[in-house]
């Protein structure tokens, strides 16, 4: 009976998602990811917002946004290592997983909607050789303290690229980062950028390791910016890069530098195989038919709050 109700709920939520997308078609027509445009969530259902709980609790929903990230399994999010590093200490260290929360399922950063999913983080796994100065090996995995339902209408995983992509391949970078006007975007934005040759990228950056790649335009104009870090660079429906660093944002001669996901393909597989998908640090996070039904009821309550508030 619970399964039937849940199926009905998911169908209902799909319809609600269409209504929500219609209600927020142009929150900010001038919004840009530095040369980007607003997109519906169906374009990037793997996109997440990684948030700091203390800021979220102190300033409100969405105000704790630190970085982007990508769903790659039902409990695993891929992001940049510098996103989950506490740099305010004399010796930077990885943040405690209890400090973080991950939100997905909507293009809106500051509005809680019925199709949002939110999870605590059970484990933060930074690459052991991450260098906070050079940003070499700028990659981390967040093991969620909960299970993402694969039939959720606005969330899905993105496959990870196992081989290097060709130069000039057109890709899409997404995020809620800083725009040309210096403000953080309220909606999810996307920019189209090509993969750049290493030698061309090295003109201003020096020789880069194979664990990094460049994407963008040498003339500038389109790029990720602060707040987009950790987010996805998608090429041909595969996760190719992780927003990592660059000199400024969209400046001539300074394209975006990304963590090269294919260079860490085996590392990701090895970490994933070492994780216990049946263990939850909080027993209430274990997904069962009952907990899914409760989640459905909670989402319906959020829907009514959203409609009537």
Q: Point out the residues that are catalytic.
A: 82, 138, 229
How many residues are there in the chain? 309
User: Residue 101 and residue 44: Cα distance in Å, rounded?
Assistant: 19
- For the chain, how far is it from start to end, CA to CA, in angstroms? 32
Classify strands 140-144 and 76-79 as parallel, antiparallel or unpaired.
antiparallel
User: Residue 229 and residue 221: Cα distance in Å, rounded?
Assistant: 18
* H-helix segments, 156-287: 198-205, 265-274
Residue of 190, 155, 153 whose CA lies nearest to 17: 153
User: Residue 201 and residue 215: Cα distance in Å, rounded?
Assistant: 9
Contact 250, 223 (CB under 8 A): yes
User: Residue 309 and residue 74: Cα distance in Å, rounded?
Assistant: 32
């Amino acid at each position: 009976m619970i399964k039937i109700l849940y199926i009905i709920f998911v169908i209902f939520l799909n319809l609600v998602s269409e209504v929500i997308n219609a209600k927020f078609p142009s929150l900010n027509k001038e919004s840009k990811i530095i040369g980007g445009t607003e997109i519906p969530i169906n374009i990037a259902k793997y996109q997440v917002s990684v948030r700091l709980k203390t800021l979220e609790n102190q300033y409100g929903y969405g105000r704790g946004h630190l970085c982007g990230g990508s769903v790659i399994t039902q409990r695993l999010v891929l992001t940049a290592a510098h996103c989950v590093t506490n740099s305010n200490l004399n010796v930077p260290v990885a943040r405690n997983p209890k400090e973080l929360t991950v939100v997905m399922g909507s293009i809106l950063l500051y509005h809680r909607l019925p199709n949002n999913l939110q999870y605590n983080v059970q484990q933060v796994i930074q690459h052991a050789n991450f260098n906070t100065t050079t940003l070499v090996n700028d990659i981390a995995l967040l093991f969620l303290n909960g299970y993402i339902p694969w039939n959720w209408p606005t969330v899905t995983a993105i496959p990870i690229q196992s081989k290097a992509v060709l130069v000039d391949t057109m890709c899409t970078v997404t995020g809620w980062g800083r725009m040309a006007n210096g403000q953080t975007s309220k909606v999810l934005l996307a920019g189209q950028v090509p993969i750049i040759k290493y030698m061309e990228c090295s003109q201003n950056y020096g020789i880069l390791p194979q664990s990094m790649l460049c994407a963008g335009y040498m003339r500038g104009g389109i790029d990720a910016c602060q707040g987009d870090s950790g987010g996805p660079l998608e090429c041909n429906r595969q996760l190719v890069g992780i927003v990592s660093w660059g000199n400024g944002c969209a400046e001539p001669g300074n394209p975006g530098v990304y963590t090269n996901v294919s260079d860490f393909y085996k590392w990701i597989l090895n970490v994933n195989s070492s994780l216990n998908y049946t263990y939850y640090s909080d027993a209430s996070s274990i997904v069962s038919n009952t907990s899914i039904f409760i989640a459905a009821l909670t989402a319906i309550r959020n829907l009514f709050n959203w409609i009537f508030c």
